[in-house]
DNA sequence: GAATTTATTCAACAAGCGTTGACCACCGCA
DNA sequence: TGCGGTGGTCAACGCTTGTTGAATAAATTC
């Protein structure tokens, strides 16, 4: 873990509040707002107060920047720790934690929304996002789900979660957008529970 | 209703299988596949076997073409005629008719998928699509829904329908993609019913 | 101070984009 | 036959885009 420091000016820190970090922040924000194509390197540079060439110097091509900006930072398992303990009401707790997490971490929400916006027109990103959703749902809820048709149950859960994110953060459906995490947990949680345990 | 024909060569029919119709078809297909930005006028022209300038000659700017290509053709009320008659199982019938309709009409499905793909990065289109979904859900299911929190109930229904479309046609979640209309009607229909009539 | 590596900017390139205007071939009415 | 409107193509313009290479400033080691 020792920094093998060579000659010359030392490389700046990744997490520094310097130009490099500002580029990443600006990129995340704009990808989340406008998607991939409508976000230009020049616009990112302007928002970060930086020449576009510097972006390329740090991150390479625009696609590389996308990958760097959207790389997940935290492990989702910690967010759902101990969720399977409660017999019923798992769906409620699940939805409430997801929505609540994004409410408390706007930066993480930006990342997620950007990922969804871009996935819709980029097959590679779509594949990664779908697998991520399925993975998380399987890990967190797999044991709770009834044994029969477990994969389909998870898929249905994922479809409702996709719809929730899309309606709340992208399509801005009024009643979904303004609802609190607790309210959504109650309403949508029941659906999740039914997909996990009810008759299909 | 008499065609007030002036001098000169008569205008071709809209529905003609000629160049004009082929342009619309190509535009719909490509918008559905790649979204708005990644679809170029030149590519549409190539697919339609036509010079890009002809597109502009017929439809004007690229935005105008988008509007023309995505203008809905049929009245959704006819699709859901008499659906409120059955006391329970409305959700099932609703989902089954929607999915079944797109199964039988690939062109209409293209239109819908294009609309969703584009809405995700175009606020205007997003507004129109959201209003359309809410309008349809309100018209078709409004009378069935419980009186308390009716708007929220409709919004929840819309969120699940968004998720269904996104999962099946865009994100291609395996189990949702391969399910039949009847299967989805059974599983997802129960959710719709619960949003309309259950406790929130 | 010399050498070396990184930070940052500037100006410019090559490619692709939507759009335009000139141009010709029809077609139908007078 | 000639005029006016339509169908259709061609080449090109003007603009924006992502990307590059040269050039300068700063920071560190020897």
pLDDT of residue A16: 54
pLDDT of residue B2: 33
- Look at A134-148, A166-180, B65-79, B160-174 and tell me which has the smallest mean pLDDT: B65-79
Q: Whole-angstrom Cα distance, residue B22 to residue A115? A: 34
Nearest Cβ partner of B166 from A166, A172, A187?
A166
With contacts defined as CB-CB under 8 Å, which chain B residues touch A161? 163
**Residue B122 clears pLDDT 80, i.e. is over it:** yes
Contact B156/A188, CB-based, under 8 Å? Answer: yes
Q: Whole-angstrom Cα distance, residue A92 to residue B185? A: 23
Q: Whole-angstrom Cα distance, residue B163 to residue A94? A: 17
**Residue B126 clears pLDDT 50, i.e. is over it:** yes
Q: List residue ranges whose Cβ is under 7 angstroms from nucleic strand C.
A: A 6-12, 18-20, 49-54, 57-58; B 5, 7-10, 39-43, 52-53, 56, 61-63
Mean of pLDDT over chain A: 92
Cα dihedral sign for A115, A119, A121, A124? Answer: positive
Question: Which residues lie closer than 8 Å to A97 by C-beta, 6 or more apart?
Answer: A79, A80, A83
Mean of pLDDT over chain B: 91
Closest residue to C11 (CA to C1') is A53
Nucleotide nearest to A56 (CA to C1'): D19
Q: What tokens appear for B13 in the block?
A: 């029919």
**Closest residue of chain A to B159, computed from CA coordinates:** A163
Q: What is the mean pLDDT of residues A126-137?
A: 95
pLDDT of residue B5: 46
Residue A3 CB in 7 A reach of strand D: no
What one-character DSSP code corresponds to residue B181? H
Contact B171/A35, CB-based, under 8 Å? Answer: no
pLDDT tens per residue, range A17-54: 589 999 999 999 999 999 999 999 999 999 999 999 99
pLDDT tens per residue, range B2-48: 334 455 566 665 555 588 999 999 999 999 999 999 999 999 999 99
* Residue B100 near residue B181, CB atoms below 8 Å: yes
The angle, 0 to 180 degrees and rounded to 10, between the axes of the packed helices A181-197 and B150-165 is 60
pLDDT tens per residue, range B63-103: 999 999 998 777 888 999 988 877 679 999 999 999 999 99
Closest residue to D17 (CA to C1') is A40
């Amino acid at each position: 873990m020792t920094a093998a420091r060579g000659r010359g000016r030392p490389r700046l820190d990744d997490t520094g509040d310097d130009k490099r970090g500002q580029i990443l922040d600006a990129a995340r924000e704009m990808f989340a707002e406008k998607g991939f194509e409508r976000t230009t390197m020049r616009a990112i540079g302007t928002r970060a107060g930086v020449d576009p060439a510097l972006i390329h110097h740090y991150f390479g091509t625009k696609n590389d920047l996308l990958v760097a900006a959207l790389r997940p930072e935290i492990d989702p398992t910690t967010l759902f720790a101990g969720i399977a303990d409660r017999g019923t009401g798992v769906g409620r707790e699940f939805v409430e934690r997801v929505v609540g997490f994004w409410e408390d971490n706007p930066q993480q929400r930006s990342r997620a929304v950007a990922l969804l916006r871009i996935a819709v027109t980029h097959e590679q990103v779509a594949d990664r996002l779908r697998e991520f959703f399925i993975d998380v749902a399987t890990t967190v809820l797999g044991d709770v789900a009834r044994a029969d048709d477990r994969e389909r149950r998870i898929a249905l859960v994922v479809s409702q979660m996709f719809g929730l994110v899309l309606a709340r953060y992208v399509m801005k459906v009024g009643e979904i957008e303004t609802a609190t995490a607790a309210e959504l947990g109650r309403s949508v949680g029941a659906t999740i529970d039914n997909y996990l345990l009810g008759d299909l």
